[in-house]
Every structure is written in C-alpha cells, then in structure tokens.
Chains A and B, each alone.
Chain A
Amino acid sequence: MSEPILATHALCKSFGALTATDDVSIDLRAGEIHAIIGPNGAGKSTLIAQICGALAPDAGTVELLGRDVTGLSTQARAQAGLARTFQISALAMEDTVLDNALLGALGAAGNPWRLWGRVSRDAALRDRAMAALDRVGLADHAGTRTADLSHGQRRQLEVAVALTLAPRAFVMDEPMAGLGAEGSRVMTGFLDGLRQEAPILLVEHDMDAVFALADRISVLVYGQVIATGTVDEIRADPAVRAAYLGEEA
C-alpha cells in the first residue's frame, strides 16, 4: 500500500483532567475520503487543531507527505500542502467574498509583501480566487460583504478558500453543518469529486453524507478511536452501535 498523505501517530492531548485526544493514530490515503465521526465533545475538532498546527499535542506526531510536521507552525503546514476548513467559519467578515478568496490565492502564491498595486486587479490572484468561488457556486456573490452571506454560503466560502490553496490534503470540520438538505446534497456531490484532487479528512455529523462519501470511517468517542473501517464495517460494529450510532439511529 502506498504511503499515507497524512497520518497521526499516538497523538495525545489533555485539558486538565479531560483527555480530549487519547492515543489517536489515523491516516489519510491518496484519493480517499476518511470520515471522523463521534458524539459532541468527542475531540474531533481538537484532533483537527493538532493536525493543522493550531494546538500542540502532549505526545505523538503528525506526518504530512512522509515528513514529521509536529514541530511546524500552522503556516508551514499550510505551505506544505494542508488546507483546513473551520467548524465555526473563520472568515474576514467585513471584507467581500472575493477578498476572502483572494487571501487564499495570496497564501498559495506565498508572497503578501507587495505593498503597491490593487490586489483586485492582479489577474493571476483574481483568476485563482474566482475559479475557486465558481466551483462552490459563489461566483455571483464575489462582491458581497461576507457578513451578509447566509450561514450555508459561509460554509461554501470556507471550502472555496481551501480550494484556492490547491492543497495535497483537505481537513474539513463539519462542512455540511447548517447547509440544509439541498445544500448538503450539493456539497456531498462536490466533495465526492474533490477527493480525486486531494484526499479529505472529513469531520461530519451528517450521517447521510458520511455514508455516501466515506471510503473509511473512524469513530471517535471520549478522545479514543474505537473503530476504523469501511461504511459497512462501521455500520455492523457492535461497539460503535452501542457507543454512538445507537443513540442516533
């Protein structure tokens, strides 16, 4: 089997007495969508924060493209090809939709030090930003102030900013949250195709989306991975049913 694009090895993180990440080893392989599911407070976002560099683990390592990135900053990991979307939209609300996408394009270009010339007139940046907006269906809203977007559109913009980076791996924290039935369906279709470009580590509560998309699922409960497997394996797993799916289904 080919080497994983992204992997964690025995990752641990505690907040005081609370163990939010408990010996987590997962990996993300080329071309796949690996879904992480688990009840509220299971430690999914905490895991993502450690993978992306926003939070330092107490122990364990994170590996990106075969390289140990545990000691690297968020910026360095992004430059190395990791793109993250946030559970709670982290967008420049006062700026336009295009500005947010341009920021991604600027990050991809890696040079924010040009102090002259209008960024909105830079054809290369603009094309890259508009292409990403177009893919998530926000091209018509390029000039809209981000604060005026609906909740679902903000989720789409989160994904668009990640797209501008043309990353080697996506890490998405609940991209469907609050999208509504139609929005979820569209996003599901979109992510389905996206895995060809780069694999996706997908944290998601929407079980229809997870079962439709995931090549593999890992179930996180109290910071621990209690099972990893295909959709069918997870559905059949008695421990999972007891700990998690039993409550929902």
Chain B
Amino acid sequence: MIGERWINLAVPLALLAVPLYALMADEPFTITLATRATILALAAVGLNIALGIGGLVSLGHAVFFGLGGYAMGILAFHAQNYSPLEIGPLTFAGTKSMPVIWLVAVIVSAMAALLIGALSLRTSGVYFIMITLAFGQMFYYFAISWSAYGGEDGLSIYVRNGFPGLNTLVPIQFFAVCFVVLCLALALNAMLRASPFGLALNAARQVPQRVETVGLNPMRLKLMAFVISGAITGLAGALFADLNRFVSPSMFSWQLSGELIILIVIGGVGRLMGPVVGACLFVALEHWLGGLTDFWHVWLGVVLLGIVLFARGGVVGLLTGKAGPHV
C-alpha cells in the first residue's frame, strides 16, 4: 500500500508528464486533453471542499462553473466587439486579460455561492441536493433565454485571453497556466484541511450537534466552505471557457454538476488527490471509450458502480489501502 503523501506527490507529477511527453511526441491534442482534465480537476477540487470536508452534496456546482465561464465570455465578448459593458449606471470596458477575468469569475461565483448557500443550508440531506439542483436549473434556463449573450447558442471568443508574459495560444503554455492554478488550489485545500477552520468544518460534517455544544455554528462553517468551494469551481469555469474559446448554457447543466460529483467519487471523496485522479480517469475514459462507442457513459457507470460497491474510498482509497470514504 502506498502512503497518501506519495500519491499527493506522484499524481500531479504524472499529470504534468503527459503533456510534456505529448509536446515531445508532437501530439497537441493530447495536451488539450490534459488541459481539460486539469481544469475539470480544478472544478472538482472546489466541489471537494464542500463535499469532502463539509459533507455538502451540491448538485448545483455547475452554477459556479457556468458563472465563471460567462464572466470570461461576457468580458471577452465586450473586448472583442469594443463595446462597453453597462451594468445599471456603471460602465466597464471588456477585457482579454486572464487575471482580471479570473478575479471577476471568483468574486461573482463566491457571491452566488454565498446567496445559494445561505438559502440551501437551511435544509439538509436530499432537500439540500434538490435545492442546489433547482438553482442550477434556474441559471441554466436563464442563460438559454439571455439572448444578448447568445442564448441557447452560447458565445464564441475568437482569440484566447492573454496572460502577462505568456503566449496562451501555445497549448503547452496554456496548460502550464491551468496546472499552476490547480496546484495552488490543491495547496489551498491542504492548508484549509489542516487549519482550525478545517478541523471545525470536518467535525461539522460528522457531528454538527457536537460543534454546536462547543459554541460554534456548524451552518456558518459550512457556508464558508460552500463559498470557497464555489469560488474555486468558478475559476475553473473561466479557464474551461478559455480552453474552448466558447461558453454556452451547457456549462450550467445539471449533468455537469453530476459529473463533478461522479469524478470525485471515482477518485476518492475528501481525498486531496481524489478530484485529480477522478478527472484524469474521466477524461481518459471519455476520450478512449468515447472513440469506440457512443455509449461510453455505460462503462463510466460500471466503473462508478464498482467503486461505490467495493471501494468507497475511490481510487486513492484503493491505493492507500484505507477503505473509508474519508481520510
């Protein structure tokens, strides 16, 4: 059995090795696949903070993914059309700068998470799942009807946004950007987990009544986790939109929320590397099996079933030999 520390080191290195190999073998598409896995992993790292530490089964995290995507889409759309963005009495210029777009994506999704979390956390269990799902659907249909930004057809951005000092049009450079962001998010996750907040949140998932009796508010702890979680997933959405140079309402779809949960379960709920392993497997299955059959989701379902029935700790749990769903 492998220590979790080694996994925490080996998994990012393996993810890094794939595009480096592809670069030498001159397979740019593989770099794109690795970038896709990296961004999905980032979105799932965000969800894993709410789901894995806080125990919040959110079936609405696509809201934040989509908001991040539309933050990018709208800002870049106004920049490429040279049209100002007017919000009430305020007028902004669009932008093609990734750092600015990221900041907006993070702030918008954090605010949405605060609102959605404050309402949803009044409930728990299946009601929480349903309420987050309902919010997801609201945003989805809103995006479909929002004709100013493409409605159902979405928005195309002609040139990938820029990052100071880099040429993001070069696949490996854009991968590097995403990879560094993922590593920072993983470091943030590890830091949170070990911090006083992480201890309290972890207890709030397991025994909320205990947390209350020591004078702490489990709901507020979970709300904070939800906001951080939403912000990270929102950032992933902005990167995802930049990868595809396209945003559409499907970024808000409940299928996407479900896929994020699925890949965390496959990788290992609450494990630091769970989302990364899950995202890589997900993208690999999607690519290879998807190339063989249109029904690759069936095989994904089989993998998921196997994990849920026989390896509750996901792949990371299998590797470390710890069966439980949490560390």
Contacts and interface: CB of A to CB of B under 8 A. Distances in A.
Q: Closest 8 A-B residue pairs measured CB to CB?
A: A107-B214, A78-B215, A112-B200, A74-B212, A107-B215, A79-B215, A90-B210, A92-B203
A159 to B, nearest CB: 13
Nearest to B215: A78
B196 interface: yes
Nearest to A78: B215
B192 to A, nearest CB: 6
Nearest to A54: B209
Interface of A: 52-54, 73-76, 78-79, 83-84, 86, 90-95, 99-100, 102-104, 106-108, 110-120, 122, 125, 161, 164-165
Contact of B202 (A54, A75, A95): A95
Given A52-B213, A99-B199, A119-B195, 17 more contacts: A54-B209, A54-B212, A76-B215, A78-B215, A86-B209, A90-B207, A90-B209, A92-B203, A95-B199, A100-B203, A104-B214, A106-B199, A112-B200, A112-B216, A113-B196, A115-B195, A119-B199
Contacts of B194: 118-120
A164 B214 CA distance: 9
Interface string B183-215: 000000001101111111011001101111111
Given A112-B197, A116-B195, A106 B207 contact: no
Contact of B206 (A94, A104, A119): A94
Interface residues on B, range: 20 to 34
23 contacts: A75-B215, A75-B216, A78-B213, A84-B213, A86-B210, A90-B213, A92-B202, A92-B207, A94-B206, A100-B203, A103-B214, A106-B216, A110-B215, A112-B199, A112-B200, A112-B216, A113-B197, A113-B224, A114-B197, A116-B191, A116-B195, A118-B195, A119-B194
Contacts of A120: 194
Contacts of A91: 207, 210
Contacts of A79: 215
B227 to A, nearest CB: 11
B106 to A, nearest CB: 15
Nearest to B200: A112
Contacts of B212: 53-54, 73-75, 78
A86 B216 CA distance: 17
Contact of B192 (A84, A111, A115): A115
A109 to B, nearest CB: 8
User: Which residue among B194, B206, B212, B221 has the maximum number of chain A CB atoms within 10 Å of its CB?
Assistant: B212
